Amino acid sequence: MLTRPQNPPPVRDQALATVSAVSDAAQRAGRSATSITLIAVSKFQPVSAIREAHTAGLRHFGENYVQEGVAKVQALAELPLTWHFIGALQTNKTRAVATNFAWVHTVDRLQLAERLSAQRPVELPPLQVCLQVMLVPEPGKAGLAPADVPALAAAVAELPGLQLRGLMCIPPATADVDTQRVHFRALATLLAQLQSAGLSVDTLSMGMSGDYEAAILEGATHVRIGTAIFGARPQPIAATGPA
């Protein structure tokens, strides 16, 4: 069970404000707002908050934990939502993700990709995947080194149950916009290298509530925003379990 903070701002109002802010950032970058997919990060948010965000026009939602995410996918099955798995994924949880989600943004090893491919139901379209890149080594953070991206990308692109879409990163937290842009530019450069190598990739999943404007300036196609939409995360009364 989850409990939201007392007197939170209306989710619908915050969602509409975030959509407007992303559109403004796109305009400043000389881009169309339609080129950017806003993923509402709904980790620890109750189903009622997701329904409210849906009334503001949001259609893409991101979950970090398998058990929690699958429960929400099933509870909201009547709504036309696209579900993105954006958390660390253990190999023993791949079947649930392959069955219930449309996207996985956190593939960082071939074994994980192979399991997702094999377990994707044949009646569903290919699972859309991004490779998670660790641009700067950080203890406890997932992702493959930039030098390892080309080989894994080539291997994942051959798996029948998946469609390799691009790259994802969570760079070191900083309020310095110039530094934010340096990290995001590095991921964009990696994507361009994959494109030059002949891979059909088009996605840069980068940017969160504190740095999405810098990410958009550097070409983000998907931004993952939670706090700006939902406010402070509710606290879990009972643990949701590991991903």
Give the pLDDT of residue 2.
37
Q: Is the pLDDT of residue 6 over 80?
A: no
Reported confidence tier of residue 141, pLDDT bands at 50, 70, 90:
confident
Give the pLDDT of residue 146.
97
Mean pLDDT, rounded, of the chain:
93
Average of pLDDT values for 42-70? 97
Q: State which amino acid sits at residue 221.
A: T
Reported confidence tier of residue 236, pLDDT bands at 50, 70, 90:
low
Which whole-number Å values give the CA distances from 117 to 113, 144, 166, 199, in the listed order? 6, 19, 16, 18
Average of pLDDT values for 189-209? 98
Average of pLDDT values for 51-73? 98
Reported confidence tier of residue 235, pLDDT bands at 50, 70, 90:
low
Please tell me the distance from the alpha carbon of residue 80 to that of residue 188, in angstroms, as a whole number: 30
Domain 2-236 has CATH 3.30.70.920: no
Average of pLDDT values for 176-187? 97
Average of pLDDT values for 51-71? 98
Give the pLDDT of residue 7.
61
In percent, the amount of the chain with pLDDT more than 70 equals: 93
Q: Is the pLDDT of residue 198 over 50?
A: yes
Give the pLDDT of residue 214.
98
pLDDT tens for 76-127 read 999 999 999 999 999 999 999 999 999 999 999 999 999 999 999 999 999 9
Task: Characterize 193-219 residue by residue with b for buried, 16 or more Cβ atoms within 10 angstroms of its Cβ, and e for exposed.
Answer: ebeeeebebebbbbbbeebbbbbbbbb
User: By C-alpha distance, which of 36, 37, 101, 92 is closest to 63?
Assistant: 101
User: By C-alpha distance, which of 82, 161, 73 is closest to 124?
Assistant: 161
Reported confidence tier of residue 230, pLDDT bands at 50, 70, 90:
very high
Inter-residue contact 82 to 58 (CB < 8 Å)? no
Give the pLDDT of residue 94.
98
Q: Two tokens at 42?
A: 């709904």
Q: Is the pLDDT of residue 242 over 50?
A: no
Task: List the chain domain ranges.
Answer: 2-236
Q: Is the pLDDT of residue 162 over 80?
A: yes
Residue 182 has, within 13 A of its CA and on its CB side, a CA count of 9
Q: Is the pLDDT of residue 4 over 80?
A: no
Dihedral sign of CA atoms 167, 64, 34, 10 in order:
negative
